[in-house]
């Protein structure tokens, strides 16, 4: 569904152009049908002219409905969906499958002998009952498919998403998003089976209905080998 709405948003100009061309053709058919209707002398001719006139009117009505639907999607529906206004951090699309490769920054630290950042011991930026991850807890060891619980419920709620990043990097990968507020409940799941074992940061980002992202709730976790 989101892919269809994104297509309608990205190609709105082309869609309107095609609808305009269709409307011009339908208007031409309407004018011809009315002219044939006035000139028709026999019953069969009048019947054919009436059929062409009805077809032209139906076509114009259908094109008008499509144009109105496109307008509603672009102006009202698309701005309220989570796939457009993401927080200003380098994230990957929702459909990206995390790879098991070690991030270049970590490899460079290992090759140069630079100490690799350690796992923080506490969460940060969390607001109780509004932006918080209650499970997994800070410093917890996880593996396989992890169920995330917490709260994503702010005034003028828009949507939320949760992401992960290896400790010491800013390579945030979006796992999943939701457009319904959650109060001390299930936020979603996180499949860690394809990740390289190590220390990661898990963060919850909540955005209001104006597209403004609040400071995220960040929880450090350690991923074990599957």
Element (H, E) at 182: strand 182-191
Question: Where a domain ends, among 54, 80, 106?
Answer: 80
CATH code for the domain in which residue 182 is found: 2.60.40.10
Q: What residue numbers bound the domain in which 123 lies?
A: 91-223
Statement to judge: residues 99 and 147 lie in one domain: yes
Statement to judge: residues 139 and 182 lie in one domain: yes
- Enter the pTM of the model: 0.49
Statement to judge: residues 72 and 133 lie in one domain: no
| 105 neighbors 167 (Cβ within 8 angstroms) | no
Statement to judge: residues 76 and 140 lie in one domain: no
Statement to judge: residues 178 and 100 lie in one domain: yes
Could you tell me how far CA 162 lies from the centroid of its own chain?
13
Statement to judge: residues 107 and 177 lie in one domain: yes
Statement to judge: residues 95 and 191 lie in one domain: yes
Considering its fold, how many domains does the chain have in total? 2
Statement to judge: residues 130 and 194 lie in one domain: yes
**pLDDT for 32-45, tens place per residue?**
888 887 787 777 77
Could you tell me how far CA 81 lies from the centroid of its own chain?
6
Angle at 166 (CA atoms; ends 161, 171), nearest 5 degrees: 60
Q: Select the more confidently predicted residue: 19 or 11.
A: 19
Average pLDDT over all residues of the chain: 81
Please, which pLDDT band fits residue 117 given cuts at 50, 70 and 90? low
What SS3 class is residue 29? helix
Statement to judge: residues 75 and 100 lie in one domain: no
């Amino acid at each position: 569904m989101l892919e269809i709405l994104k297509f309608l948003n990205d190609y709105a100009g082309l869609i309107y152009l095609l609808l305009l061309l269709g409307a011009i053709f339908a208007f031409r058919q309407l004018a011809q049908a009315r002219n044939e209707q006035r000139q028709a002398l026999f019953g069969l001719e009048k019947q054919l002219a009436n059929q062409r006139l009805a077809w032209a009117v139906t076509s114009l009505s259908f094109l008008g409905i499509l144009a109105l639907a496109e307008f509603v999607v672009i102006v009202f529906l698309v701005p309220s969906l989570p796939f457009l206004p993401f927080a200003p951090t380098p994230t990957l699309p929702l459909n990206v499958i995390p790879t098991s490769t070690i991030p270049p920054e970590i490899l460079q630290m290992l090759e140069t002998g630079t100490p690799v950042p350690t796992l923080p011991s506490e969460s940060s930026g969390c607001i109780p009952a509004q932006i918080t991850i209650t499970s997994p807890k800070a410093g917890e060891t996880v593996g396989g498919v992890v169920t995330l619980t917490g709260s994503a419920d702010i005034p003028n709620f828009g949507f939320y998403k949760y992401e992960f990043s290896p400790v010491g990097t800013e390579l945030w990968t979006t796992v999943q998003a939701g457009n319904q507020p959650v109060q001390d409940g299930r936020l979603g799941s996180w499949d860690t089976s394809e990740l390289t074992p190590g220390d990661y940061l898990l963060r919850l980002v909540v955005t209001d209905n104006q597209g403004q992202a609040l400071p995220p709730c960040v929880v450090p976790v350690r991923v074990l080998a599957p």
